Amino acid sequence: MKWWGGDSSFVRDKIHYHGVCKCKNLYNKDKRRSIREAIKFSLHLIPHFLKNNYDLIDSNEFPYLPNFIVKLYCLFRRKPMIITWHEVWGHQWYDYLGPHLYIIGILIEKGTVKLPDMIIANSRKTKKDLVSKLGVRKEKIVIVQPTVPINLSQILPSPEKYDLLFCGRLIKEKNVELLIKAMKNLNPNVTCAIIGDGPEKKKLKSLVKTHKLEDRIEFLGFLRCHDDVLSYMKSSKLFIFPSLREGFGTAVLEANACGLPVIVVDGDHNASKHLIEDRVNGFICKNDVESLSKKITYLLNKEELRKKMAKNCKKIFSRHQQSESAQKIEKIYKRFAKRKLTGHKKK
């Protein structure tokens, strides 16, 4: 979908971008992702594919439906199909769609996982879930951890300084409500900025008003320039990421790159906790207000520890950046681009 202004197609860093249709509102009034968005995108893929011939397709697993169009194209053109999988929902569909519709989500997810010739998982957790929850063979999955291509040398700390920072979509799973409630237990001089937009924004603002925290918590909205996000990270003391469901946790690595210790929530569906070494580059807390409040207070009162952790954060970020993700993906693409879907088994 075309999320940018200007031409529908452009080239940047030797990558060709094609906006096959205009973007739609991602969320319904009930705060769930709109299926119309997925249907519109899927239908607009058809004329685009009819006019173009690709060596292979690497598709995102979400929002599922476009992958069925991609599969038809790959079968018709006899091209290989890869899906990059970010997170497995499984029975979390029950919480999202309710007792009557959740089975539809499960069936679509299980159907999508059968489409590709290879799945690229973004983390060990995602691979484990693909195998245990969706029955994918281990040999069909390769783990390629995302890297964060950012250049911080030209980015200055924001003149607007906050003690705490959150950045992400304002949806239920991000658990921002926990951070707002924890603010009530903190020193009244502690300030917090929330970057992002989403269907929970109105509810969260109302919660801030209920707890009379308007002068301490500021909603900065969606920042179109990502350098601005990094600038706020550079000027903050702690990054609070209470998300309950993450396939990886890119925001955690970005915060670490800026020397910002991170506090995450321990949860079965939260892969971002695997990016945190407790007391080294952040803390892992329980999913309750008291636990989060105590971790925040402890770190805010330990300036020397924060400085030490800031150095650790940058080292850990560098370690992740040294991974061979790009080379790994290139090898996968080359291997699959050379083979046809019929009459040739990979060895």
Residues 117 and 214 in one domain: no
pLDDT tens-digit map of 96-122 = 788 888 899 999 999 999 999 999 999
Residues 331 and 313 in one domain: no
The dihedral formed by the CA atoms of 301, 304, 305 and 311, expressed in degrees to the nearest 10: 140
The pLDDT score that the predictor gives to residue 6 is 86
Residues 77 and 121 in one domain: yes
Question: Does residue 173 belong to any structural domain of this protein?
Answer: yes
The pLDDT score that the predictor gives to residue 346 is 46
Question: Does residue 342 belong to any structural domain of this protein?
Answer: no
The pLDDT score that the predictor gives to residue 342 is 45
Residues 144 and 252 in one domain: no
Residues 58 and 113 in one domain: yes
How many other C-beta atoms lie within 10 A of the C-beta of residue 257? Answer: 22
Amino acid identity, position 58: D
Describe the crossing of helices 65-77 and 102-112 by its angle, rounded to 10 degrees: 30
Cis peptide before 63 (omega within 30 of 0): yes
Residues 213 and 284 in one domain: yes
φ/ψ of residue 129, rounded to 5? -70, -35
CA-CA distance, 121 to 129, in Å (whole number)? 10
Question: Does residue 56 belong to any structural domain of this protein?
Answer: yes
Question: Does residue 156 belong to any structural domain of this protein?
Answer: no
Amino acid identity, position 224: R
Residues 188 and 271 in one domain: yes
pTM of the model: 0.81
According to DSSP, the β-strands at 9-12 and 15-18 are antiparallel
Q: Rounded to 5 degrees, what angle do the CA atoms 10, 14, 16 make? A: 35
The pLDDT score that the predictor gives to residue 22 is 87
CATH number at residue 264: 3.40.50.2000
Question: Does residue 14 belong to any structural domain of this protein?
Answer: yes
Residues 33 and 100 in one domain: yes
Residues 141 and 171 in one domain: no
How many other C-beta atoms lie within 10 A of the C-beta of residue 168? Answer: 21
Number of independent structural domains in the chain: 2
The pLDDT score that the predictor gives to residue 171 is 93
Q: Residue 147 burial by CB count (10 A; 0-12/13-18/19+): exposed, middle or buried?
A: middle
**Range of the structural domain that residue 76 is part of:** 9-148+325-337
Q: Which residues of the chain have pLDDT under 50?
A: 341-347
Q: Rounded to 5 degrees, what angle do the CA atoms 314, 318, 320 make? A: 120
For residue 239, give the H/E element and its range.
strand 238-241
Residues 91 and 28 in one domain: yes
Residues 317 and 330 in one domain: no
Residues 313 and 332 in one domain: no
Question: Does residue 345 belong to any structural domain of this protein?
Answer: no
| Contact criterion met (CB below 8 Å) for 290 and 185 | yes
Question: Does residue 3 belong to any structural domain of this protein?
Answer: no
Question: Does residue 153 belong to any structural domain of this protein?
Answer: no
